[in-house]
Structures are given as structure tokens and as C-alpha cells.
Amino acid sequence: MRSKLLQLLTSTDSFISGQEISNILGISRTAVWKHIEELRKNGYELEALPRKGYRLLRTPNLASADEIKAQLTTKRIGQNIVYKKAVASTQETAHEQARNGAPEGTIVVADEQLAGKGRLGRNWYSPPGSGLWSSLILRPDIPPHKAPQLTLLTAVAVVEGIREVTGLGSQIKWPNDILLHGKKTAGILTEMQSDPDRIQAVIIGVGMNVNQEAFPEELAETATSLRIEAGGTVYSRAELIAAMLKRFEHWYDHYLMNGFPEIRERWEALTVTIGKEITATTLTKTIKGYAEGITEDGVLILKKSDGTLEHIYSADITL
């Protein structure tokens, strides 16, 4: 109910009368007043005038379930939101939700991660109130070896969601980094719960730096945020995640009906990796070569100086 009230209040700059809110939401005037007071307690600044009603002046830029639902336009992706003020990691919480039968499209969102997870067991810097830390649960009917395609699909959705809200043109670095002006602003982590021949669930984590003004010294050279790249503009985290989920649902529905080819083309149009001389560092070796493209399964094709082709399944990439 509170998300519907927020939708009403954010849909106009004018006053909305308590009676009009009561009629639209099908609740009493007393219930309207109680919801308004709860919004105020949570940091929303509202103006109230006799015979005029209520007007929203300022939001606290939360990424709570109510805030996200007020912005959401999807049919199923993100409709079930598990919001936490703080978790060890959204991935761990999403895995637990998936094991307990959470439906496809469930998303776990946290204001802070105490032990955020990146690729290869790394930590992800996740301070409170400034970024988007989320994990999406999917249950696609695809073989396990095709799951990496969903990482690339997610990367496309993240780039398009960022552009829709901010106008910033971010780019993808294989396999899971989103860059702005060469610095990382988001990362993607895909994990599975599966049997040998069947996926039970795919958990896709997205960490996005949104409103950070600075980073620790060890990250300052490689990390950035949307706010930094936009010259200080503060963005709505709920609007960003809603836009990302809208673009994800668009491409995911397309993927389930038509497969990977068009998504692959879109990914290649947005990447900074393909067509470049790169160094790929895997767990066992370092390979230099020319990034020719990706396979149907999202594997990077690297052409070495002797002309031989190497398929890279997982690696750190340096341009």
C-alpha cells in the first residue's frame, strides 16, 4: 500500500487531497494519515495544507521495497523484493531465498553489505546509503553450460538502465565489469544452484557505485561512481534499479523466446574488450592476444601472436 501511495505522491508536483488518496487506494482517511506519518518517520519531507492535501517535497533516496515498487514497471522481474538494511552479502541471502523456494524474479536488495562478494572470492566495497547492492533469482529452463550467457545479458541491461536514468554512456569489459571513462562503476557476479543436467536457480548479483563521492585509496585509481562521472549529480537508487530491472526483463523475455544471438550482438556493440589487444590472467596462466569476439556461450575468443585461438572461460582482463 505504501508503494502505491508513493507512486501517487511522486506522479505530480501538485497537492493531492486526503480524500482523493483515500478513494484511489480504497482506504480510510485515518489510514492515509497513518501512512503519511510513517513516510515522515522514514525521512520523507511532505507538505500538508488544509483543503489542499499533501505534496511530496523531498525523498530520502532509499532503495527500499516501497521505493523500488513505486518506480517499477515490470510484470514479474523484481515484483517480489526482499529488502534488508544490512546483510553479509546479497548473494548469500539470495541463495538462501532460492533454496527456500523463492519465485523467479525475486530480488534481494540491501542498503549495506558487510562482506560483499566479487568474482574469484574478492570482497566488494559496499558502504551504506550510496550504492546498489542486489541479487536477482532466476529459474531458466536452460542447460547449466549456458548460464554465463545471463551474465552478458545482465551487463547489457545494466548499461541500458544507467543510460535511461543518467544519460551516461557506460561500457562493458568482459566478463562482468561496467566502466565509465575506463573506471569500474558496477560489477556482476553469476552463481548457480544446479544438478548435473538441470539448473535449479541462477543468482545474479549486481553491485553499482551510484552516489559515492570518493573511494578508499586502494580503489581510487580503478573505481568510480555515477555521481562522480556526472559532476556531482545525486541519483535515485530506486529509479536506477527499476530501470535496470525493466531492461533486464525485456532482454530476458527475448532470450527465453529467441535465444542468445541478438543479445550477443548488443553486448558486442557495448563492449570495450572486442577488437583490442588484451592480457588475460587466469588462475593458472597469463595470455596475451587480440580479443576476436565471444562464442555462443559467452566465452572470450583470444587470438595469440602465433595465430592460434584460445578460449577464455574466466580471467581478469587488462586492455
The pLDDT of residue 124: 57
Span 116-125, average pLDDT: 56
Please say if the pLDDT value at position 234 is more than 70.
yes
Please say if the pLDDT value at position 230 is more than 60.
yes
The pLDDT of residue 61: 79
Q: At what angle do helices 261-270 and 237-258 cross, to 10 degrees?
A: 140
User: pLDDT for 12-44, tens place per residue?
Assistant: 888 999 899 999 999 998 999 888 888 888 778
Span 160-184, average pLDDT: 95
Please say if the pLDDT value at position 122 is more than 70.
no
Q: So what's the architecture of 277-318 in CATH?
A: Roll (2.30)
SS3 17: coil
The pLDDT of residue 2: 77
The pLDDT of residue 8: 87
DSSP state of 86: E
User: pLDDT for 40-72, tens place per residue?
Assistant: 887 788 898 988 899 988 877 788 899 999 999
Task: Give the class (CATH, top level) of 65-270.
Answer: alpha beta
In this prediction, residue 118 has a pLDDT band, given cuts at 50, 70 and 90, of low
Span 103-116, average pLDDT: 90
Domain with CATH 1.10.10.10 in the chain: 2-58
- Grid cell for residue 65: 521495497
CA gap 120, 313 in Å, rounded: 13
Beta bridge partners of 186: 178, 208
Domain with CATH 2.30.30.100 in the chain: 277-318
Residue of higher predicted confidence among 257 and 315:
257
User: pLDDT for 85-99, tens place per residue?
Assistant: 899 899 999 999 999
CB-based contact 40:46 (threshold 8 Å): yes
Sequence-distant (≥ 6) Cβ neighbours of residue 198 within 8 angstroms: 143, 144
The pLDDT of residue 6: 86
The pLDDT of residue 237: 94
In this prediction, residue 125 has a pLDDT band, given cuts at 50, 70 and 90, of low
State the chain's mean pLDDT as an integer. 90
Task: For CA atoms 100, 105, 109, 114, give the dihedral sign.
Answer: positive
Task: For CA atoms 125, 126, 132, 136, give the dihedral sign.
Answer: positive
Please say if the pLDDT value at position 120 is more than 60.
no
Residue of higher predicted confidence among 104 and 176:
104
Please say if the pLDDT value at position 100 is more than 90.
yes
Span 282-303, average pLDDT: 90
CA gap 188, 299 in Å, rounded: 16
Burial class, 310, CB count within 10 angstroms (exposed 0-12 / middle 13-18 / buried 19+): middle
Domain with CATH 3.30.930.10 in the chain: 65-270
CA gap 29, 10 in Å, rounded: 19
Q: What is the CATH number of domain 2-58?
A: 1.10.10.10
Mean pLDDT check: name the lowest of 74-78, 83-87, 241-245: 83-87
- Grid cell for residue 214: 570518493
The pLDDT of residue 193: 95
